[in-house]
Amino acid sequence: MAESEESKEALLAYLFLLQNGAAMSQQELDSTIESYLRETYDIAMDFDVGDAVQKLAALGMLKEQGDGYEAVSLDTAIERFCLLKSAF
Q: What is the pLDDT of residues 27-38, one digit of tens each?
A: 999 999 999 999
55-85 pLDDT per residue, tens: 999 999 999 999 999 999 999 999 888 877 6
Q: Tell me, letter by letter, the H, E, C secondary structure of 14-74.
A: HHHHHHHCCCECHHHHHHHHHHHHHHHHCCCCCCCHHHHHHHHHHHCCEEEECCEEEECCH
User: Is the pTM higher than 0.95?
Assistant: no
Confidence band, pLDDT 50/70/90 cuts, at residue 23: very high
Cα gap 77→14, rounded to integer Å = 9
Query: Is residue 50 within 8 Å of 7, Cβ to Cβ?
Result: no
Specify the number of domains making up the chain.
1
CATH number at residue 8: 1.10.10.10
The reported pLDDT for the residue numbered 1 is 42
For residue 32, the enclosing domain spans 2-86
